[in-house]
Amino acid sequence: MSRIGKQPIDLPAGVEVSVSADNTITVKGKLGELKQTIDQSLTVRLENNQVILDRSSEENSHRAKHGLYRALLNNMVKGVTEGFNTVQELVGVGYKADAKGQVLELSLGYSHNFVFILPQEIKVETVSERGKNPLIKMSCIDKQLLGQIAAKIRSLREPEPYKGKGIKFQNEVLRRKAGKTAGK
């Protein structure tokens, strides 16, 4: 059996899970509601305030999906109870970030600014303190959506290996390279 797939998901107080006939799972909590359609090879059981996933056979594809969907459901339960956060740091002279509602405007050293329109589910906040790098703080109940948007923002100016300039996640450790050394 899949080590991850066979583990039950404990439901905290205030979280409701419902399964429809077409294998769509709805998770409701204090922060919101998330839906996920799971593969037909899996069945979902609700027992003793726990969610348990079972698979129909031992095929490799079914075993892989068993662990995948268990992890997705666990992230949904965690998202509607606690939520997910990510903090990105803009490293570079003159790099700026400004959030107005769901519009994030980034100045990243190019000739033009990037205007990034965020989905309604994501809450964004920018912090600019004198003498420190600007920060972009995002929070959402959907871990997949938050990670996808954070990766898209990071791809606008990935950190380069010599000086580390670019958009990086806070506390991310970058591999740095030595620059040129002087000749004879």
- For residue 22, give the CATH number of its domain: 3.90.930.12
Predicted confidence band of residue 106 (pLDDT cuts 50, 70, 90): very high
Mean pLDDT of 102-119: 94
Q: What is the pLDDT of residue 184?
A: 63
Q: What is the pLDDT of residue 1?
A: 44
Residues 72 and 91 in one domain: no
Percent of the chain topping pLDDT 90: 66
In a domain, 181, yes or no: no
Mean pLDDT of 80-84: 94
pLDDT digits 0-9 by tens, 119-168: 999 999 999 999 999 999 999 999 999 999 999 999 999 999 998 899 99
Q: Which residues constitute the domain of residue 72?
A: 9-81
Q: Give the torsion through C-alpha atoms of 29, 31, 33, 35, to 10 deg.
A: -100
- For residues 18 and 34, is the Cβ–Cβ distance under 8 A? no
Task: Give the number of domains in the chain.
Answer: 2
pLDDT digits 0-9 by tens, 34-51: 999 998 888 888 988 999
Q: Which two tokens stand for residue 159?
A: 């950190």
Residues 144 and 123 in one domain: yes
What is the model's pTM? 0.88
In a domain, 184, yes or no: no
Of 81, 111, 141, the position where a domain reaches its end is 81
